[in-house]
Amino acid sequence: MITREQNELLTRTGPGTAMGDLFRRYWIPALMAQELPRPNCPPVQVQLLCERLIAFRDTQGRLGLMDEFCAHRGVSLWFGRNEENGLRCPYHGWKYDVTGQCVDVPSEPASSGFCQKIRLKAYPCVELGGVVWAYMGPPAEQPPPPAFEWVHLKPSQLFISKRWQECNYLQAMEGGIDSSHVSFLHRGDLDSDPLHRDTDGAKLTRSTNTVFDILESPGGLMIGARRDADPGYHYWRITQWLMPWYTLIPPYKGNAANGHAWVPMDDYNCMTWTMTFHPLRDLTGEELELMKKGAGVHAELIPGTFWPVANRTNGYLMDRAAQEAGDYYSGVKGLAIQDASVQESMGAIADRTKENLVSTDNAIIMARLRLRKAAQAVKDGKGAPGLDPAAQNVRSASFLLPEDRGFKDAALEATKVRTGEQHVAV
Ligand code: FES
Ligand SMILES: [Fe+2]
């Protein structure tokens, strides 16, 4: 349980809020590179940290991310014409380049110098790992580009999807670091999901006696979840939580690894990103097809949108018969929508003053504390944590360990990125 003030502090992300200022120190996944497939393609609306923005790729292929609304009288530049190195508002023809600078006001003589004085707020972008990343913080504090293992793999080794989730980022992210729910909410899927079943890990994860051992790491938390295995052994799953909203899910043997990012759009909506990647091999055509249809930790989307087919408006396609039979523990199909449905049911912003936390919520408690400390550090003029590339370039892992061995040394070893080597998984 936390106080109302603490809950406000952790969940509000607009300009000038504590979390908003912290999050603006990181490169933020803004949109998928494929949403802007070619020069002069249609512009795309983007919402980040309570700001409404427009993204476009100009004639030279440069990326622009700026205020969605025209400086003249506030028309959405989603209607804009992307032409000749700029986005032109269709109402009265004002035009902006990728830096947000107004470059043409047709009604005013060029000699007046009027348009030079008009500039929309714009943010720098980098394209990496199939993602367009935005930096929305103070220019002097711009960090090195993202260094997660998956951003440097070949495109054929990586599949990314994103889905709109109708709740605050924090309760969604808290689901990602709460390994104990897997044994319940996703129980049926461990047996049936084509990207999980038939691994020892999936069988062992069904055990519900989860015990946590959590270490602070330079970039966040290394969360060890221990379950019973064969006599004398424990099964450990090591989830990485990386500042400010990333997780790396412990892999199942032979399968690709998964990670998430929960990016606040505003305080009542977040974009849930899912990255599936294999450090050694291309993803197979079958894997790609399955993921597009909602297997693994991806969701099936309404074509042309990032809205899941199963969503709040249709009761997430609840199947009571499947719930009763145990095929889907909650009656909702698919790991991603199972997560989304329970998290959205908590309300737009979960009321954390009413919680009753238990020992399996320790990672959540520690992550909240870490976020608050990081926000305070930024406020005090100190740097934000986890920006060092070495802090981001880590792996998740799962392994068996004799009961009498502590997990720390084994986890530190198993979570190192070894280029050209398989991730450690059972
Ligand atoms: S509102 Fe955009 S040019 Fe007038
Ligand atoms: Fe989950």
Indicate if the pLDDT at residue 206 is higher than 80.
Answer: no
Residues 6+ apart with CB under 8 A from 306: 162, 163, 164, 271
**Ligand 1 pocket, residue 94 CB under 6 Å:** yes
C-alpha of 323 from chain center? 29
**Ligand 1 pocket, residue 150 CB under 6 Å:** no
Average pLDDT over residues 259-284: 97
Does the N-terminal peptide bond of residue 244 adopt cis geometry, omega within 30 degrees of 0? yes
Indicate if the pLDDT at residue 83 is higher than 90.
Answer: yes
**Ligand 1 pocket, residue 90 CB under 6 Å:** no
Does 311 or 206 have the greater pLDDT score? 311
Residues in a beta bridge with 241: 221, 247
Q: For residue 182, what is the enclosing H or E element?
A: helix 182-185
Q: Could you tell me the distance, in angstroms and rounded to a whole number, from the CA of residue 172 to the centre of ligand 2?
A: 9
- Measured from the alpha carbon of residue 260, the closest ligand is 2
Nearest CA owner, ligand 1 atom 1: 73
Indicate if the pLDDT at residue 201 is higher than 90.
Answer: no
Nearest CA owner, ligand 1 atom 4: 92
* The pLDDT of residue 192: 83
- Please report the atom of ligand 1 found closest to the CA of residue 71: 2
- Measured from the alpha carbon of residue 104, the closest ligand is 1
Average pLDDT over residues 375-381: 97
**Ligand 1 pocket, residue 310 CB under 6 Å:** no
Amino acid at 82: N
- Please report the atom of ligand 1 found closest to the CA of residue 77: 2
- Measured from the alpha carbon of residue 337, the closest ligand is 2
Indicate if the pLDDT at residue 198 is higher than 90.
Answer: no
The residue among 301, 295, 273 whose CA lies nearest residue 283 is 295
Q: Residue 118 — very low, low, confident or very high, per pLDDT cuts 50/70/90?
A: very high
**Ligand 1 pocket, residue 70 CB under 6 Å:** yes
* 320-375 residue pLDDT tens: 999 999 999 999 999 999 999 999 999 999 999 999 999 999 999 999 999 999 99
* The pLDDT of residue 290: 95
Other C-beta atoms lying within 10 Å of the C-beta of residue 203: 15
Indicate if the pLDDT at residue 270 is higher than 90.
Answer: yes
- Please report the atom of ligand 1 found closest to the CA of residue 105: 3
The residue among 89, 55, 53, 86 whose CA lies nearest residue 71 is 89
* The pLDDT of residue 190: 81
Indicate if the pLDDT at residue 193 is higher than 90.
Answer: no
pTM: 0.96
How far are the Cα atoms of 57, 171, 248, 280, 283 from residue 239, in angstroms, in the given order?
36, 17, 6, 20, 22
Average pLDDT over residues 232-256: 94
CB 316 within 8 A of CB 304: no
Q: Residue 17 — very low, low, confident or very high, per pLDDT cuts 50/70/90?
A: very high
**Ligand 1 pocket, residue 75 CB under 6 Å:** yes
Q: Could you tell me the distance, in angstroms and rounded to a whole number, from the CA of residue 136 to the centre of ligand 1?
A: 25
The residue among 17, 415, 1 whose CA lies nearest residue 221 is 415
